[in-house]
Amino acid sequence: MTRTIRVAVPGPFTEPLDYLVPSRLPLPRRGVRVRVPLGRRELVGMVTAAPSGSNLAADRLRPITAVLDDEPLLDEETSSLIEWAAHYYHHPVGDAYLTALPARLRQGQAAAPAIATVWTITAEGRETAPESLARQAPRQAVLLEALQAEEHLSPARLAGFDGDPRGALQRLVERGLASLTPVPDYGLIIGRGEESNLALNDEQIAAARAIQPGEGHEVVLVDGVTGSGKTEIYLDAIARSLAQGLQTLVIVPEIGLTPQLVRRFQRRLPGRIAVLHSGLGDGERLNAWLAARTGEADVVIGTRSAAFVPLRRPGLIVIDEEHDASLKQQEGFRYSARDLAVLRAHRLDIPVVLGSATPSLESLENVRRGRYTRYRLCQRAGDARPPVIQLLDMRGQPTRDGLSQPLIDQIHRHLEGGGQALLFLNRRGFSPTLICHECGWLAECDRCDARYTYHRGRGRLHCHHCDRERSLPHHCPSCGSVDLRPLGLGTERIETALQAAFPETPPVRIDRDSTRRRGSFERQMEAARRGDTRLLLGTQMLAKGHHLPAVTLVAIIDADQGLFGADFRAPERLAQLVVQVAGRAGRAERSGEVAIQTHHPEHPLLQMLIHGGYPAFAEAALAEREAAGLPPARAMALLRAEAPSREAPQAFLKAALAGAPRDPRVERLGPYPAPMERRAGRYRAQVMLQSDLRAPLQHLLTQWLPRLGRLPEARRVRWSIDVDPAETL
DNA sequence: TTTACTTGAGTT
DNA sequence: ACTCAAGTAAAT
């Protein structure tokens, strides 16, 4: 027998490398980590294949130096998912494996959870009546009673007793009634499984019925406005999965994984919950990951990378806010957590739920093709009325720092009526431009094709594209004038205008600048929820915030940027924002109003949204994509390149195209410069590939990409491939 | 002549 | 990705 294995190692390798296993080491199985030499280095790699013949001469193979796991960390299902993703997104396989693992496992540390020491009841302790201690040692008696009821007490549980019970527990140990035992501590949240006080309505029941954990694969798209009870459907389905002893994987966008959501799951689900997100420490992350793998966790809630977590007894997958662009990784291993989760559910033969108030056009196309089943939720909880959307025509209107008089009047009305107002502007800072009033000079970033944003709070200029900051110039560097003026609108400026217009009602601004301190976003949202804050303004992060039951007016200060974005998905994003934002208005008994300020009230997208809502918009947008030959009607991939010189990316992409396999089924566009050509001192360009079918496009990429690295022009650029890009910039 | 930095090749 | 050897530019 050859004792050869294939190992996925980090590095630029499309395929795993072959290694020998010395006789002193056990032969590792697929899914086990090993330590291997590579050049001068020693790396952690993942075994992908059982012993097999090698395509390299045996005398050129080097031996592995250690086997790191007794049992495979990844089962066949997860391993093959990772390999599939590495091939589909054309990313090196070793990198794909390692990015799927928590940091500690990537570094070769043991796959073992944290250990907590708990007090456990002994056989003698079980026999002893607590009353016998009650006289001389009342605290011991209380603790013994608790131990008899709960079997063991964790350090966290001790907080439930008066004072510090550790001394009394020590005494119980000395009496032989309790003992200290080390147990694995996965840091799980213990769900309480409380019943809901709201019964599901007919629409929710229909959707929930379609989700049958353990009954085979089915993709259920739950399409419901905010407040229509999507989460109730998830909870119902998860509870049924739990009742069958099956695990549920819940994937949410980073911003959606709020303590509020976790608390709601904890309250309602009768199971153990693991949470996986980027804010965790390495140890916590490892614990949660292992809890999923061993089946200790019944429910795993996580962000993007949770799509790869191994599950011992999978029964259901839920993807919340499935349209959210953050489910697609935007650099490196550019996978879509949503698409992989759907594939995973298909392979596991389990149901998957996609939820959104504004489903992606991709998912709606899948509904149209009969692959997904769509369930619409139209009733809002507590029969709140849908908000009235109106367009505020800005043409010719006098404005005070972006606020038109009708909008100011409207805010007044709502504040006087006891309501809250929520204002959106997707631009931080005071103004997106600083201009010289004498000569027209603009404060431009010298590393990007972009202007500096003026931040008045910090008294500085800040480039939002490369993060460069400069102090504010006192006079114009071109003509010396001191008359430098802010041009355009940012959230700081709106804040100032609101302060002037509503001196009695101090506005609170919520954007990345105002919430930099840890936990301050949560604090501000809590203040708003209590009603302490009546006037809120912020960027998109406000739209994905929390339930604010007293909000009666929501305003979008400037819809025009979304109407004319460079990306073909810009209209879709605007529509999603409008609907999401509208969902914030009038959730309780009061009905809500949505005001959209625009210079283009006749724009078909806005008209469509107002008269037909998101469904009408989506239908029109799909037809448009079909006509234009864009996703989801056709498959797309982008080859990007960037370099410090303008020429290098173009030269590389031209050479790349010249050597590309020809296939009439694959259309090629470009090379053309990226919409913002220079960013952080680098020029960017791209080639777009499109095809009616995925297969020919995939086939072409597989043939083509390995050759690109060998082009002489490739050495002058950084290049990458993006399959199913979320953004074309 | 020494030293610092760029460029190209190779990793099983 | 990372590391090394060979080559080139500037410091001594």
Measuring CA to CA, which residue among A61, A62, A3, A7 is closest to residue A34?
A7
Is this prediction's pTM over 0.85? yes
How much is the pLDDT for A233? Answer: 96
Q: What counts of helices (H) and strands (E) characterise chain A?
A: 22, 33
Which nucleotide C1' is nearest A10 CA? C1
* A378 is known to lie in a ligand binding site: no
Which residues neighbour A304 within 8 Å (Cβ) at sequence distance 6 or greater? A251, A254, A326, A327, A329, A337
Spatial separation of the C-alpha atoms in residues A568 and A631, rounded to whole Å: 9
Q: Is the CB of A116 under 7 A from strand B?
A: no
Which nucleotide C1' is nearest A92 CA? C1
Q: Is the CB of A62 under 7 A from strand B?
A: yes
Instruction: Say if residue A2's pLDDT is above 80.
Output: no
Q: Which of residues A446 and A31 earns the better pLDDT score?
A: A31
Spatial separation of the C-alpha atoms in residues A361 and A367, rounded to whole Å: 10
Q: Distance (Å) from CA A95 to C1' B5?
A: 29
Sign of the Cα pseudo-torsion (A413, A416, A418, A420, in order)? positive
Instruction: Say if residue A728's pLDDT is above 90.
Output: no
Question: Which amino acid makes up residue A121?
Answer: I
Which nucleotide C1' is nearest A11 CA? C1
The string of DSSP letters for A81-106 reads: HHHHHHHHTT--HHHHHHHTS-HHHH
Measuring CA to CA, which residue among A710, A706, A672, A667 is closest to residue A690?
A667
Q: Is the CB of A474 under 7 A from strand B?
A: no
For residue A585 the two structure tokens come to 């208005």
Which nucleotide C1' is nearest A54 CA? B12
Helices A138-150 and A166-174, interaxial angle, to 10°? 80
Q: Distance (Å) from CA A651 to C1' C9?
A: 27
Q: A493-536: per-residue pLDDT in tens?
A: 999 999 999 999 889 998 888 877 667 777 787 777 777 888 99
Q: A8-42: per-residue pLDDT in tens?
A: 999 999 999 999 999 999 999 999 999 999 999 99
Which nucleotide C1' is nearest A718 CA? C1
How much is the pLDDT for A55? Answer: 65
Which nucleotide C1' is nearest A332 CA? C1
Q: Distance (Å) from CA A261 to C1' C12?
A: 67
Q: Distance (Å) from CA A11 to C1' B2?
A: 35
Q: Tokens 């000395």 label which residue?
A: A174
Q: Could you tell me the pLDDT band of residue A168, with boundaries at 50, 70 and 90?
A: confident
Q: Distance (Å) from CA A716 to C1' B1?
A: 33
How much is the pLDDT for A721? Answer: 95
Q: Is the CB of A53 under 7 A from strand B?
A: no
Q: A532-567: per-residue pLDDT in tens?
A: 888 999 998 887 767 777 888 999 999 988 888 778
How much is the pLDDT for A53? Answer: 58
How much is the pLDDT for A250? Answer: 98
CA distances, A72 to each of A10, A79, A293 (Å): 19, 10, 10
For residue A125 the two structure tokens come to 């302790």
Spatial separation of the C-alpha atoms in residues A555 and A594, rounded to whole Å: 6
Mean pLDDT of A276-286: 93
Q: Distance (Å) from CA A603 to C1' C10?
A: 63
- A41-49/A718-723 β-pairing: unpaired
State the nearest residue by CA to the C1' of C4: A40
Measuring CA to CA, which residue among A610, A548, A545, A533 is closest to residue A575?
A610
Measuring CA to CA, which residue among A108, A120, A77 is closest to residue A293?
A77
Instruction: Say if residue A613's pLDDT is above 80.
Output: yes
For residue A264 the two structure tokens come to 């709601």
Q: A194-244: per-residue pLDDT in tens?
A: 988 788 889 999 999 999 998 999 999 999 887 788 999 999 999 999 999
State the nearest residue by CA to the C1' of B8: A715
Q: Distance (Å) from CA A55 to C1' B10?
A: 18
Residues A654-690 as b or e (16 or more Cβ within 10 Å = b) = eebbeebeebeebeeebbebbeebbbeebbbbbbbbb
Which residues neighbour A382 within 8 Å (Cβ) at sequence distance 6 or greater? A588, A589
State the nearest residue by CA to the C1' of C1: A11
Q: Tokens 């919520």 label which residue?
A: A510
Q: Is the CB of A284 under 7 A from strand B?
A: no
Q: Could you tell me the pLDDT band of residue A585, with boundaries at 50, 70 and 90?
A: confident
Which nucleotide C1' is nearest A95 CA? C1
The number of angstroms, rounded, from the C-alpha of A51 to the middle of its chain's C-alpha atoms is 38
**Please, which positions of strand B sit below 7 A from a protein CB?**
7-8, 10-12
Q: Tokens 């505020």 label which residue?
A: A392
Full set of structural domains in chain A with CATH:
4-106 (3.40.1440.60), 114-185 (no CATH), 202-377 (3.40.50.300), 388-431+488-624 (3.40.50.300), 635-723 (3.30.70.360)
Which nucleotide C1' is nearest A38 CA? B11
Give, as one character, the DSSP assignment of residue A672. Answer: E
Question: Which alpha helices (DSSP H) does A505-645 contain, by range?
Answer: 520-530, 540-543, 560-563, 570-582, 604-628
State the nearest residue by CA to the C1' of B11: A39
Instruction: Say if residue A700's pLDDT is above 90.
Output: yes
Half-sphere exposure of A470 (CA within 13 A, CB side): 14
CA distances, A385 to each of A6, A576, A674 (Å): 60, 19, 44
Q: Distance (Å) from CA A644 to C1' C9?
A: 21
Q: Is the CB of A696 under 7 A from strand B?
A: no
For residue A634 the two structure tokens come to 């056709």
* Residues 620-679 on chain A lying near strand B, CB distance under 7 A: none
CA angle A560, A565, A571 (to 5 degrees): 75
**Please, which positions of strand C sit below 7 A from a protein CB?**
1-4
Q: Distance (Å) from CA A157 to C1' C4?
A: 56
* Residues 511-530 on chain A lying near strand B, CB distance under 7 A: none
Spatial separation of the C-alpha atoms in residues A422 and A550, rounded to whole Å: 10
Name beta bridge partners: A402. none
Spatial separation of the C-alpha atoms in residues A287 and A283, rounded to whole Å: 6
Which nucleotide C1' is nearest A39 CA? B11
State the nearest residue by CA to the C1' of B9: A710
Longest dimension (CA), chain A: 93
* A445 is known to lie in a ligand binding site: yes
Measuring CA to CA, which residue among A130, A50, A43 is closest to residue A92?
A43
Q: Is the CB of A56 under 7 A from strand B?
A: yes
Measuring CA to CA, which residue among A387, A400, A324 is closest to residue A597?
A400
Q: A365-422: per-residue pLDDT in tens?
A: 999 999 999 999 988 766 567 788 899 999 988 888 889 999 999 999 999 988 899 9
Q: Distance (Å) from CA A547 to C1' B10?
A: 57
Mean pLDDT of A258-286: 94
Rounded to 5 degrees, what are φ and ψ at A593? Answer: -125, 145
Q: Distance (Å) from CA A28 to C1' B12?
A: 17
Which nucleotide C1' is nearest A63 CA? B12
Measuring CA to CA, which residue among A585, A529, A510 is closest to residue A552?
A585
CA distances, A718 to each of A448, A528, A715, A724 (Å): 17, 46, 8, 20
Q: Is the CB of A163 under 7 A from strand B?
A: no
Q: Distance (Å) from CA A62 to C1' C5?
A: 22
